[in-house]
Amino acid sequence: MRQTPPPEHAVAPFTEVDPHRARQRFSIAPMLDWTDRHCRYFHRQLTGQTLLYTEMVTTGAILHGKGDYLAYSEEEHPLALQLGGSDPHALAQCAKRAEQRGYDEVNLNVGCPSDRVQNGRFGACLMGEAQLVADCVKAMKDSTSIPVTVKTRIGIDDQDSYEFLCEFIQTVAERGECDTFIVHARKAWLSGLSPKENREIPPLDYARVYQLKRDFPTLTIAINGGVKTLEEAKTHLQHLDGVMMGREAYQNPGILAQVDRELFGLDAAAADPAGVVQAMYPYIERELSDGASLGHITRHMLGLFQGIPGARQWRRYLSENAHKPGAGVAVVERALALVNLA
């Protein structure tokens, strides 16, 4: 008997009881220089369920750097730390520190193709060393009780066959005991393309990630790459356990206000953009009193009113005034008054 296919944008019933798998349902990608703690606090005002990721932090920075690279606000939970590195011992130390600091997950970057990352022997180049990745994950898992996950590509350079991807996943899953993979549905060129070009030029292959879930049904598989709408996310969730959204979530953060209802099935009103801005005021005042710059916080908020009259004035006012000496909450209030919220 022929089965009726699900509606094109139907959301699979959200009845997942495993809290870790449930968290993977929707997440915001780790983005260098973007998803800092100010950005994450802002995003959390828009969605309570989305899993947030830090920028990639190297093991060297955590273990030997002078700053506190693990700092975050309690309101950011659920929160994952993304690590860059390839030394199992150093990664294990960092994973243990992450657990001690209260992170909900540790993620290993096996997807970044930049030259700087390759020179440190981590990121996408590690796809060619599946056993080393397995050793790294196993060392982290042995040192902590929180989930350890891997973010990877579908291939690198000429090693881009489905068989290569399956061998990598199988090795890391079996020998590294990793049960969760976030897969960027593009391969990476390790030379010849910039990181930006590597996000755009290699073609997306969603079908390959769907097939991966069919061939490894017991693993938690989330997809990343090119997701721009919640309708697209719903389509992916018909095939996979989770969706990770990157630049669209940052450049058009208002989309996040619909996530808890549309993707997690919560019976709650979408976050009001003006209310979100006002909810940031106490945080802004606290951070300014600790020496932060207003512009470092509001730069993440510029795209909030996309499509709303006054959005351009909001962006312009903040861009021109937030970095001035002494700029405070009053600057944000004046910018908000320029938005037509009627």
Assess whether 318 and 204 both reside in one domain. Answer: no
Is residue 14 in a domain? no
Assess whether 294 and 316 both reside in one domain. Answer: yes
Tell me the angle at which helices 130-143 and 88-101 cross, rounded to the nearest 10 degrees. Answer: 40
Is residue 86 in a domain? yes
pTM equals 0.92
Query: For residues 80 and 78, what is the distance between their CA atoms, to the nearest angstrom?
Result: 7
Output the pLDDT for position 12: 42
Q: Which two tokens stand for residue 261?
A: 């209802």
Rounded to whole angstroms, what are the CA distances from 152 to 165, 227, 236, 285?
10, 16, 17, 38
Chain segment 65-102, per-residue pLDDT in tens: 999 999 999 999 999 999 999 999 999 999 999 999 99
Is residue 146 in a domain? yes
Is residue 228 in a domain? yes
Is residue 8 in a domain? no
Which residues are part of a known binding site for FMN? 30-32, 82, 151, 184, 224-226, 246-247
R_g of the chain computed on alpha carbons: 20
Residues 6+ apart with CB under 8 A from 130: 167, 168, 171, 172
Assess whether 206 and 304 both reside in one domain. Answer: no
Phi-psi region of 270 (alpha: psi -120 to 50; beta: other; left: phi over 0): beta
The string of DSSP codes covering 42-106 is HHHHH-SSSEEEEEEEEHHHHHH-SS-TT---GGG-SEEEEEE---HHHHHHHHHHHHHHT-SEE
Output the pLDDT for position 5: 36
Assess whether 258 and 282 both reside in one domain. Answer: no
Output the pLDDT for position 20: 75
Chain segment 143-161, per-residue pLDDT in tens: 999 999 999 999 999 999 9
Q: Where a domain ends, among 213, 234, 264?
A: 264
Q: Where a domain ends, among 247, 264, 281?
A: 264
Output the pLDDT for position 319: 97
Is residue 13 in a domain? no
Active site residues: 112
Assess whether 293 and 212 both reside in one domain. Answer: no
Domain holding 26, by residue range, is 19-264
Output the pLDDT for position 18: 75
Assess whether 280 and 260 both reside in one domain. Answer: no
Q: How many separate domains does the chain show?
A: 2
Q: Which two tokens stand for residue 156?
A: 């690198």
Output the pLDDT for position 195: 80
Output the pLDDT for position 220: 97
Is residue 2 in a domain? no
Is residue 12 in a domain? no
Max distance between CA atoms of the chain, in angstroms, equals 71
26, 234 contact by CB (below 8 A): no
Q: Where a domain ends, among 216, 247, 264?
A: 264
Rounded to whole angstroms, what are the CA distances from 133 to 150, 174, 280, 311?
9, 11, 39, 45
CATH number of the domain enclosing 58: 3.20.20.70
Regions of the chain where pLDDT drops below 70: 1-17, 116, 118-119, 342
Output the pLDDT for position 114: 78
Which residues are part of a known binding site? 30-32, 82, 151, 184, 224-226, 246-247
